Amino acid sequence: MALLDVKEMTQYFGGLCAVSEFSVSLEQGQMVALIGPNGAGKTTVFNLVSGFYKPTRGEIIFKGQSIKGLKPHQVTSCGIARTFQNIRLWFEMTVLDNIRIAQHHALGYGLWDCFLRTPRYMQSERNIEDHAMDVLTRLGLRDVAHELPKNLPYGVQRLVEIARALSIKPALLMLDEPAAGLNSSDVEGLIKLVGDIHKDYGLAVWMIEHQMDVVMSLCSWIKVIDFGATIADGTPTAIQNNPDVIKAYLGDDTI
């Protein structure tokens, strides 16, 4: 059974068809890319899967259950974590707090536990802190745990965002343009990092990416969309030579 099964998902914004009959099937531990020219609807696909919008038509099945119509925080609790195209950290809170707040799905206590400091609360806070430090250590961010993200370089902010998504212990990690704005050495680091966490955590990774070296070196399967419709689907080599893809990116010679 596939981990994530999106079936003929369609989304209209008023009269505009942003995503049309989008289908994808992701297996456990697979690394898949979603590419396409600007405005093709890639981020909308991510927003639909993560629960920002409810698709007009179609079905989204995750681990055998329909997650269509769930709120974003519920989708995340099911095990889908994502990052954003433009970094969306909580910039005024320490890196450690950024990770801690992402553990809301695993709190297991309420307001009165906070006030009375019940054993349940103490245990939960300790677990959260330990887990957060583990994740930061794993990504080599331990030294910046008490820094504010706004004071960190852009590349490190990207890493913190990936760490935050990873701390949710997802089965599926969705990366929305992880390499955007990174210099070439940072990109190399990112490729290695994503490959490593993919292997270590055994999670499925689904990424939107414009930089082809990232996509080609990491992903085993690529899906190309344009104007909301799927135009190609296949292995990296097949996609590179696909005439429809070349046409979508470069245009053709009809005037």
- Using CB under 8 A, which residues numbered 47 to 76 contact other proteins? 50, 52, 71-73, 76
In whole angstroms, how close is the CB of 107 to other proteins at the nearest point? 6
Give the contact letters, 90-129, x = binds to other proteins (CB under 8 A), - = no: xxxx---x--xxxxxx-x-xxx--xx-x---x--xx--x-
d(CA 248, CA 232): 10
Contact 166, 173 (CB under 8 A): yes
Residue 163 interacts with other proteins (CB under 8 A)?
Answer: no
Contact 109, 120 (CB under 8 A): yes
In whole angstroms, how close is the CB of 65 to other proteins at the nearest point? 17
Contact 48, 60 (CB under 8 A): yes
Using CB under 8 A as the binding criterion, the count of chain residues that bind other proteins stands at: 37
- Here the tokens at position 252 are 């053709």
Q: Which helix (H) or strand (E) holds 35?
A: strand 31-35
Contact 36, 42 (CB under 8 A): yes
Amino acid at 235: T
Residue nearer to other proteins on the CB measure, 72 or 155: 72
Residue nearer to other proteins on the CB measure, 128 or 156: 128
Please, what is the end-to-end C-alpha distance for the chain in angstroms? Answer: 46
Residue 144 interacts with other proteins (CB under 8 A)?
Answer: no
- Here the tokens at position 60 are 């989204």
Residue nearer to other proteins on the CB measure, 159 or 248: 159
Residues that bind other proteins in the complex, under the rule CB under 8 A: 50, 52, 71-73, 76-77, 81-82, 84, 88-93, 97, 100-105, 107, 109-111, 114-115, 117, 121, 124-125, 128, 164-165, 168
